[in-house]
Amino acid sequence: MRDSDQHSPHQEAGRPPEKASLIPSVRVQNAVTVQKFQRVTFLWMIIAGLLFLTFSLDGYFLRMYQSSFFPALRAEWFYAVLTLHGVGMVGLWFVVSMAAVSYLLVNYIRPPLWASWLALWGTLTGFVLLIVATTEGLFGTGWYFLYPLPLYSQGTWPAWATGCFFAALVVFCSVWLIWSVAMIAAILRRYPLRYALGWHYLSVEARKRDLDVPPLVLITIVALIPGVAGFLDAFILFTFYLVQWQIKGFVANALLMKNLTFFFGHLAVHATMYLGVAVVYELLPTFSGRSWKMSKRIVLAWNAVLVMVLFAYFHHLYMDFVQPRMLQIIGQMMSYFSAVPAAVVSIFDGLWVVYGSRMRWTIASTLMFLGLMGWAVGGVGAVIDSTISVNSVFHNTLWVPAHFHTYYLMGVVLMLLGFASNLGAELSGFRDSPLIRRLTVTLFVIGGYGFLLMSFWAGAHSIPRRYAVYPDELAWGTYEARVSVVFIGVFILGLLLYLWETGKCYVKIFWTWLGKGQLGSFAPLGSRSRR
């Protein structure tokens, strides 16, 4: 049994913990409570699968448009779908990562079930508003919605579409802020902050081995504290937009608005990635039989990230020459430093967990491992781009979406698809087919990295991003997009195969619950493997 399981809420009733702890023990979760978490997480994963397929097809449309597949279609549609795809994907995977971590934390704390339901319905409401704003109103600023473009459409989209878009963002940020704060509060009720952050592992107290904190708790706290800061920042940003929209003559400071925008977006994306990594820390050992316990290096690495991620966003503003020079230098330094501790420690520890073990390879474990490696590959591309001298050349090229999609699509998305697959397998009792697993993973890898390789190559050759149609001087961008379309099609075939295989598990779970049957175990995901 892992050290972090000694105070699990799933110990048998009346059995004392093996070692005394200064942290109040969580009472045994009853079967009804655990099943409630199973149901809400099950629903989250169903929604995630459907929306991921939808937003992936949106991305497919974007590259097809750049390939001149739709010459008669207005360019406004390209930018509207670009906005839907960007905001939709970022929002979707944040809530999926939160749902996954919330479910896994049932092994250690009492996560806020009510907050998960609130976030689910709030997120769906936000997606409806977003879809209406982009597909009906053709709101097309891109997911950055850089100031002051949303307020000056020049007749491209109506004013109500702007209001609808910002209403979606307000709903998103409101429910996600509540969910994040409730999750932090639930963690702190059991683990005081210094323990949740693992500081006691740096002192002599750790030798007592009586204050075990799982890495899942540490990384969740490290992800959510900056996430909360980002959501609070977003409300300041929205307030400035509202005031300028409604009060004639008021003009916000453009540099401040851009800083607020990228602080929000940067932290939301990084919170998602860190939560995805937390899932891998918790679940990958259940497939290898090796524990991934807290250590001083993990504590030091993730505490360093907690500080540095707050300042790394400055690398988004290198092109803003009025930004104070020192902030640009800080942005480059923090981008370098924040990429090293967590990534290096996680990658080497992850390789140790897998290498030489009797690894049980399933779709879930394979995707989580590949996601961890994809996070590292994308991080290298991001660090290259965060170098000021390189960014001055690459900033407005396809290099940027290439490295972003690497650590997002082939990183955190694969991690969370692995979680969803394992959830279905654990609750249904199904075992995936080795043939289907190999085929699915092969399609994901060939399609995903083929698409990314073309984007990296195009970026290195100065093909710009955000162009709906490439002019004759950049005709190579059109050919590159056509090759990308082929690879994206391969990836989507893999996604359809994944949804088919995983969907069979979810259909069985649905019919079991509909018939009021019981699943194989009331314990949360992975807990059976830890016993």
For the stretch 187-198, pLDDT in tens is 999 999 999 999
Residue 201 lies in a domain: yes
Distance between CA 483 and CA 489 in Å, rounded?
10
Per-residue confidence (pLDDT) for residue 8, from 0 to 100: 37
Distance between CA 506 and CA 521 in Å, rounded?
15
CATH number at residue 231: 1.20.210.10
Residue 17 lies in a domain: no
Residue 6 lies in a domain: no
Residue 368 clears pLDDT 60, i.e. is over it: yes
213 within 8 A of 4, measured Cβ to Cβ:
yes
Residue 233 clears pLDDT 60, i.e. is over it: yes
In sequence order, the 6+-apart residues with CB closer than 8 A to the CB of 363 are 418, 421, 432, 436, 437, 440, 441, 498, 501, 502
Quick one: average pLDDT of 508-530? 62
Q: Nearest Cα to 392, choosing from 469, 320, 309, 307?
A: 320
Quick one: average pLDDT of 109-123? 96
Residue 11 lies in a domain: no
Distance between CA 186 and CA 180 in Å, rounded?
10
Token output for 40: 């809400």
Per-residue confidence (pLDDT) for residue 374, from 0 to 100: 94
Domain tally, the chain: 1
520 within 8 A of 424, measured Cβ to Cβ:
no
Range of the domain at 455: 28-530
DSSP label at residue 135: I
Residue 12 lies in a domain: no
Residue 487 lies in a domain: yes
Residue 525 clears pLDDT 70, i.e. is over it: no
Token output for 46: 């169903």
Distance between CA 373 and CA 436 in Å, rounded?
22
Residue 509 lies in a domain: yes
**Torsion over CA: 522, 523, 525, 530 (sign):** negative
Residue 169 pLDDT grade (very low, low, confident, very high; cuts 50, 70, 90): very high
Distance between CA 31 and CA 14 in Å, rounded?
16
Token output for 484: 């990308």
Residue 482 lies in a domain: yes
**Torsion over CA: 171, 176, 179, 180 (sign):** negative
Distance between CA 259 and CA 374 in Å, rounded?
28
pLDDT in tens, 487-518: 999 999 999 999 999 999 999 999 888 876 55
Q: How far apart are the first and last CA of the chain?
A: 6
Which residue stretches of 355-474 are H helix? 363-385, 388-394, 399-407, 414-428, 434-460
